[in-house]
């Protein structure tokens, strides 16, 4: 396991505001890794203050190969995750990404997500706009859905 020191650069703004596109990304957090887990998950609330729908298509983060937007799909008794081409953030509305629902999937982490660390996450929208947010890693909360399902 390789530890590249995590640098807390100056700007500790937890809320990103992109004036041009009127997007707020609030209360974003990453879930702490458990041993053996190669992917990470992120959650939070994204608000579109604009007058046109926005499509969140993914993102990027230094410690993972890629950031995908996922949702949980119920198939009978089973719940599995599915990558989405885009998550629509309707004009004037907020969409919550939360455990058991929509979430960011951090594909192939290069290091575990450790409580107390912060990571720069860039959200990418279909119109080419991006929003950068500094996101804390938080403790795993007792999951409401069985951890035997739905994980990669």
Which residues here bind Cu ion, judged by CB under 5 A? Answer: 70, 81, 105
Pick 116 or 152: Cβ nearer Cu ion:
152
State the nearest-atom distance from the C-beta of 120 to Cu ion, in Å. Answer: 20
Pick 25 or 150: Cβ nearer Cu ion:
150
Do residues 13 and 26 make contact, with C-beta atoms less than 8 angstroms apart? no
Task: Give the Cα separation of 10 and 4 in Å (integer).
Answer: 18
State the nearest-atom distance from the C-beta of 97 to Cu ion, in Å. Answer: 10
Pick 15 or 98: Cβ nearer Cu ion:
98
Closest CA to 84 of 72, 71, 101: 71
Tell me the C-alpha to C-alpha distance, in Å, between residue 90 and each of 20, 29, 93, 99, 123. Answer: 16, 22, 5, 21, 16
Pick 26 or 66: Cβ nearer Cu ion:
66
Please enumerate in sequence order all residues whose Cβ is within 8 A of that of 136, keeping only pairs 6 or more positions apart, or say none.
Answer: 14, 29, 30, 116, 117, 118
State the nearest-atom distance from the C-beta of 46 to Cu ion, in Å. Answer: 16
Residue 130, Cβ neighbours under 10 Å: how many? 14
Pick 49 or 149: Cβ nearer Cu ion:
149
State the nearest-atom distance from the C-beta of 129 to Cu ion, in Å. Answer: 23
State the nearest-atom distance from the C-beta of 103 to Cu ion, in Å. Answer: 6
- Which burial class, exposed, middle or buried, applies to 113 when counting CB atoms under 10 A from its CB (0-12, 13-18, 19+)? buried
């Amino acid at each position: 396991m390789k530890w590249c020191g995590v640098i807390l650069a100056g700007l500790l703004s937890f809320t990103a505001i992109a004036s041009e596109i009127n997007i707020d990304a609030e209360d974003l957090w990453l879930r702490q890794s458990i041993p053996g887990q190669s992917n990470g998950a992120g959650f939070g609330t994204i608000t579109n203050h604009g007058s046109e729908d926005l499509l969140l298509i993914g993102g990027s983060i230094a410690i993972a190969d890629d950031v995908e937007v996922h949702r949980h799909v119920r198939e009978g008794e089973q719940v599995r995750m599915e990558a989405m081409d885009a998550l629509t953030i309707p004009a004037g509305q907020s969409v919550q990404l939360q455990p058991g629902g929509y979430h960011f999937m951090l594909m192939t982490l290069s290091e575990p997500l450790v409580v107390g660390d912060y990571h720069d996450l860039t959200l990418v929208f279909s119109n080419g706009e991006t929003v950068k947010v500094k996101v804390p890693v938080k403790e795993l909360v007792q999951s409401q859905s069985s951890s035997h399902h739905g994980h990669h």
